[in-house]
Amino acid sequence: MPTPYLNTWIRDIEDKIDFWVNNYPITPHLFSITPLPVAPVIHPHVLSHRITSCCPSPQMPPISFSHFPEPYYGDPDDSIMKSAVVLFYNPGGFSNAQSHGSALPDSIHQKYLAHGSSYYHLSAAFNFCFGTVNGFITPKTNQVNTLIGCLVTVSENVRPLFIDIIPWHSTKFIGLNNVRFTLPDTTSDVRKKVLLPAILNAENSLLTRYLNSLQSGGGKTVLLSVGAKYSRHFLPKLGFQDVTRLIPDNPPVSVVNDIGDIVAFLPYKKVKVWKINTSDIVDSTDEVDTSLLNREIIIINVWYSTGRTMNIPIDICPTIQHILTHV
């Protein structure tokens, strides 16, 4: 069973997806985002409404509320071992199979209904429409396994958990509005609705287990994130410290370039390392186990500096191993 915090988080997502399923066809205006420069307004029952309000249109590519939201992929029960937890920054595109109310046999809506109208059960089964499975989940799972496969043995029944900061879709997502993102309510939502669920699951992952096997005393949790904008622009706003330059050089494994990125073997494979203590994330209102307190949280941010922004670089395992040894 998930811990109390994650149970509440899962139920909140279920309630808000139910709200969207039941209300979007008749009251789509409830799902609109106030354009800039007006203060952000979006209905509080919209999934990740404060974070999504940082994607205003028409100044920025519009978020589509016509397509099924996908806040996470996998089983967010933290009692189940994960290979790794991976955060994704930008929402992907969409297809007709992801449309609200689609009656196509392979549509996510029909699969959602077949799983008892429960996103949790749908996602835990990885039973999304073919485009999501074949175009995202399968290749990303293979990339995660390739990335950590030289460190740990990943059995077939151990899967990653992918979590999206923005659970909606966009045809051409170019980033969040920084002014809106840094509002206290927004950063609080990211901490409580993205980071804490990710950390609780990453605590029970092969990657975290491997990290703590390298260093006496343990007390560290590690997760992955994908995308350069994710790290450079937004992790500092959440309190993370860039510790990339503290990783000792070991050419060609971890050569830090002029702007503070690790160049992993080839110039277009990049890595940054971020760190925070859970005392900077958890507060007294959170229902989290006291064992989580005073842990060191490490995010290893990976990306391609070419156009493959959603892909996880492969063949950089020595770089990851070097980072985990010295972080």
pLDDT at res. 8: 94
Structure tokens at 267: 């110039």
In this predicted structure, the answer to whether residue 290 has a pLDDT above a threshold of 70 is no
d(CA 21, CA 18): 5
Residues ≥6 apart with Cβ < 8 Å to 14:
118, 119, 120
d(CA 88, CA 136): 11
d(CA 316, CA 322): 10
| Amino acid (1-letter code) at residue 278 | T
Average pLDDT of 84-104?
91
Residues ≥6 apart with Cβ < 8 Å to 64:
94, 168, 169, 170, 171
Please give the DSSP secondary-structure letter assigned to residue 241.
Answer: E
Nearest to 210 by CA among 280, 238, 202: 202
pLDDT tens per residue, range 171-202? 878 788 888 999 999 999 999 999 999 999 99
Q: What is the domain extent for residue 77?
A: 4-326
Average pLDDT of 107-127?
96
Average pLDDT of 122-130?
95
Average pLDDT of 76-100?
92
Please give the DSSP secondary-structure letter assigned to residue 223.
Answer: E
Confidence of residue 291 (pLDDT cuts 50, 70, 90): low
Number of domains in the chain: 1
| Matching residue, tokens 């009656």 | 103
pLDDT at res. 226: 94
pLDDT at res. 52: 93
pLDDT tens per residue, range 241-275? 999 999 999 988 889 999 999 999 888 999 999 99
Q: Are 220 and 211 in contact (CB under 8 A)?
A: yes
Confidence of residue 61 (pLDDT cuts 50, 70, 90): low
In this predicted structure, the answer to whether residue 293 has a pLDDT above a threshold of 80 is no
User: Percentage of the chain with pLDDT > 90?
Assistant: 68
List phi, psi (to 5°) of 86. -125, 125
Nearest to 231 by CA among 168, 151, 298: 298
pLDDT tens per residue, range 208-249? 999 999 977 778 999 999 988 778 888 999 999 999 999 999
Structure tokens at 303: 């990306």
Q: Are 246 and 298 in contact (CB under 8 A)?
A: no
Element counts in the chain: helices (H) and strands (E):
12, 11
Q: Are strands 296-304 and 220-226 parallel, antiparallel or unpaired?
A: parallel
pLDDT at res. 93: 85
In this predicted structure, the answer to whether residue 205 has a pLDDT above a threshold of 70 is yes
pLDDT at res. 68: 96
pLDDT tens per residue, range 298-316? 999 999 988 666 889 988 9
d(CA 25, CA 20): 8
Q: Are 46 and 24 in contact (CB under 8 A)?
A: no
pLDDT at res. 284: 67
Bond preceding residue 313 cis, omega within 30 of 0: no
- DSSP letters, 307-323, are S-TTSPP-S-HHHHHHH
- The more confidently predicted of residues 170 and 80 is 80
Residues ≥6 apart with Cβ < 8 Å to 317:
146, 147, 148, 149, 150, 151
Q: Computed over its alpha carbons, how large is the radius of gyration of the chain?
A: 19
Structure tokens at 327: 């972080």
pLDDT at res. 307: 66
Which helix (H) or strand (E) element contains residue 255?
A: strand 255-256
Structure tokens at 151: 């460190």
Least confident of 151-155, 212-216, 266-270, 287-291: 287-291
In this predicted structure, the answer to whether residue 35 has a pLDDT above a threshold of 90 is no
Coil/strand/helix, residue 247: coil
- The more confidently predicted of residues 35 and 209 is 209
Q: What's the chain's average pLDDT?
A: 91
